[in-house]
Amino acid sequence: MSDYLRLLRERVMIFDGAMGTQLMALDLTPDDFGGPRYNGCYEALVLSRPDIVRGIHEAYLAAGADVVETDSFTGSRLKLEEFGLGDRTEEVNRGAAQLARQACDAYSTPEWPRFVAGSMGPTGMLISSSDPSLSKITYEQLRDIYGEQARYLVEGGVDLLLLETMQDMLELKAAIAGIAREFRNGLRRVPIQAQPTLITDGRMLLGTDISAVCATLDALPVDVIGLNCSTGPAQMRDSIRYLCENSRCFVSVIPNAGLPIMGPKGETIYLESPEELASELADFVREFGVNAVGGCCGSTPAHIAALKAAVEAVPARRERLAS
Ligand SMILES: [Zn+2]
């Protein structure tokens, strides 16, 4: 069993906070991204400004995170190709894993090991959709795209693979199939953490409800099941309770710092303070026995520090259900 899964049995694991909104707050210039062509491609920073990416990892580790996520959320070949970086997919993902690995190794001690989660987000394609432009890709193509990214992340040194903010169950299944195939072909096995995102009515974008999410993922080679992004913790409460009561897997919850609202200049803002987010997540640990918590969009090192303090004070922990 991996050290990450072994520790999940013993205590609640704290994930880091947002990478994307932290980077956005830095007002980076096209030069930071390596030139105007790559402007806005946050994975390009792995190549052009590794110091910035590593600095964000270190800020979260200093705040008390047990797990940091690689800067590879939109690092699949398909997404990088949008910036003309498809042929650097290996370099970007290995580099993202190595940056997080170096930061974690600098903070790890035998008593407090830190872990790297290889982040993989949705491609934006929706194969379950009837929209011809969004569903113009095959299951096999998606499987191969995720398998490739997973391989580079694992070779770069991640401790687990995190499929997050997933909007379409069929894409999530393709991703898991792609990773499983890499494992069968000899890639070092690491845990898989699968996190759909639910819109405010408690369903995935294409309608899958939490009971279908749970039944589907429980039947796949997944170790941790959870939810992230889209909303704050309050909107996730019923779905998280359902997962904790029904899934055979460990359960993770990584909400945004509140339900996003639009600011005066059209910008997205997240209003939950570190203390608010931390106290709601500590309630999930206390009431339902959630195994891993963290912050998604709008969360900062201050949120993670508050989360660590709040969760450390909660003794309750859910046992994984027998499979
Ligand atoms: Zn988010």
- List phi, psi (to 5°) of 117: -100, 125
CA 198–ligand 1 middle distance (angstroms)? 11
pLDDT of 316 reads 54
Residue 157, pLDDT above cutoff 80: yes
pLDDT over 90 at 322, yes or no = no
Report the separation in Å between the CA atom of 6 and the middle of ligand 1, taken as the mean of its atom positions.
27
Q: 211: Cβ–Cβ under 8 A, 6 or more apart, which residues?
A: 242, 246
Residue 118: which of 189, 220, 34 has the closest Cα? 189
pLDDT band for 323, please (50, 70, 90 cuts): very low
Residue 164 CA to ligand 1 centre (angstroms): 9
Tokens, residue 139: 């299951």
Cα of 322 vs centre of ligand 1, distance in Å, is 31
Cα torsion 292, 293, 294, 297: sign: positive
Q: Give the predicted TM-score (pTM) of the model.
A: 0.96
Number of neighbouring beta carbons within 10 Å of residue 35: 11
Residues with CB under 5 A from ligand 1 (ion): 229, 256, 296-297
Q: How far away, in angstroms, is 229 Cα from ligand 1 center? A: 3
Give the whole-angstrom CA distance, residue 182 versus residue 152. Answer: 11
Region of poorest pLDDT, from 6-15, 142-151, 184-193, 307-316: 307-316
Is the pLDDT confidence value at 191 over 90?
yes
Q: What would the pLDDT profile of 218-264 be if each residue is shown by its tens digit?
A: 999 999 999 999 999 999 999 999 999 999 999 999 999 999 999 99
C-alpha 188 – ligand 1 centre gap (Å): 29
How far does the centroid of ligand 1 lie from the alpha carbon of residue 297, in Å?
Answer: 4
Cα–Cα distance between 151 and 184 in angstroms, integer? 12
Measuring CA to CA, which residue among 306, 302, 297, 308 is closest to residue 19? 297
pLDDT at 319 > cutoff 90: no
217, with CB counted inside 10 A (0-12, 13-18, 19+), is buried
- The whole-number pLDDT of residue 63 equals 98
Distance 150 CA to ligand 1 centre (A): 21
Separation of CA 197 and ligand 1 centre (Å): 9
pLDDT for res 320: 62
- For 178, phi then psi, to 5°, come to -65, -40
Ligand 1 centroid–CA 266 distance in Å is: 18
Q: In Å, how far are 25, 29, 91, 160 from 39, measured between CA atoms?
A: 15, 7, 18, 29
CA of 295 to the centre of ligand 1 (A): 8
Contact indicator for 50, 101 with CB cutoff of 8 Å: no
Query: CA 66, 70, 73, 76: dihedral to nearest 10 degrees?
Result: -140
- Rounded to an integer, what distance in angstroms lies between the CA atom of residue 242 and that of residue 45? 38
Burial of 109 (0-12, 13-18, 19+ CB in 10 A): exposed
DSSP secondary structure letter of residue 295: -
Residue with the larger pLDDT of the pair 314 and 248: 248
**DSSP conformational letter for 201:** T
Written as six digits, the tokens of 138 are 């095959």
CA of 165 to the centre of ligand 1 (A): 7
| 110 CA to centre of ligand 1 in angstroms | 31
CA of 71 to the centre of ligand 1 (A): 14
Mean confidence (pLDDT) of the chain: 95
For 42-63, write each residue's pLDDT tens digit: 999 999 999 999 999 999 999 9
Q: How far is the CA of 184 from the centre of ligand 1 (A)?
A: 32
CA of 111 to the centre of ligand 1 (A): 30
pLDDT per residue over 76-100, tens digit each?
Answer: 999 999 999 999 999 999 999 999 9
Distance set, CA 287 to CA 16, 284, 301 (Å): 22, 5, 25
**Tokens 């309630």 -> residue:** 283
Report the 10 Å Cβ neighbour count for 32.
Answer: 17
CA of 226 to the centre of ligand 1 (A): 13
153 CA distance to ligand 1 centroid (A)? 21
CA–centroid distance, residue 301 to ligand 1 (Å): 15
